Copies of this chain bind each other. A is one copy, B any other.
Amino acid sequence: MKLETSFAIALPAWCVELAAELPEHLPEPIDRMRLAIELSRRNVEAGSGGPFGAVVARIDDGLLLGIGVNRVEPGHCSSAHAEIVALSLAQARLASWNLGEAGAVELASSCEPCAMCLGAIPWSGLRRVLCGASKSDAEQAGFDEGARDPAWADALARRGIELHTAIERKAARSVLLDYRDRGARIYNP
């Protein structure tokens, strides 16, 4: 059996349709978070991945650069978390690994990032991160955030990356608990 030489991650069909209907700008940060949570909710309803959504946008005018949902199971890729998908799609749009080329750019994630996504944030050129649900919310739903640096918020600050947690937390958390209550699969090996 031959080795694979490329891999691709795609948004699910409902999300491609939604992407085409979105405005070019969402100027209010809270609306970017609401979109991230809406993505997480629709991903659960469509059965197209785990209960996580993310949005990448320019901070000053809200220009939308990328959206993402969790695609781990359907995409056969354990790294296809919503944050990685949204960051990678924004970078594909900019044709650069560095989001800083678009100005000061923000990630709104429906849940606090796991150890992997947290590690990915400084490499992407982001300047701000907004989180919805907390680590404890994710754990209550059965998810595992991994071995994060205990001083992760300080580590972001030292790199000049602003962090705001618990934005629309109640709505974000309810998606996680709904996923758990549906008996959906938690896919840690």
Measuring CB to CB, which residues of chain A are less than 8 angstroms from any residue of chain B? 1-11, 15-16, 19-20, 22, 24, 64-67, 72-73, 75-80, 84, 87-100, 114-120, 122-125, 144, 146-152, 155, 187-189
Contact = CB atoms under 8 A, between A and B. Distances in A.
Give this chain's copy count. 2
B146 A147 contact: no
A186 to B, nearest CB: 12
Contacts of A1: 24, 93
B123 A79 contact: yes
| Main DSSP-derived SS at the A contact region | mixed
13 contacts: A5-B11, A5-B19, A7-B9, A76-B96, A76-B97, A77-B97, A78-B87, A78-B91, A79-B123, A114-B123, A115-B118, A116-B116, A116-B120
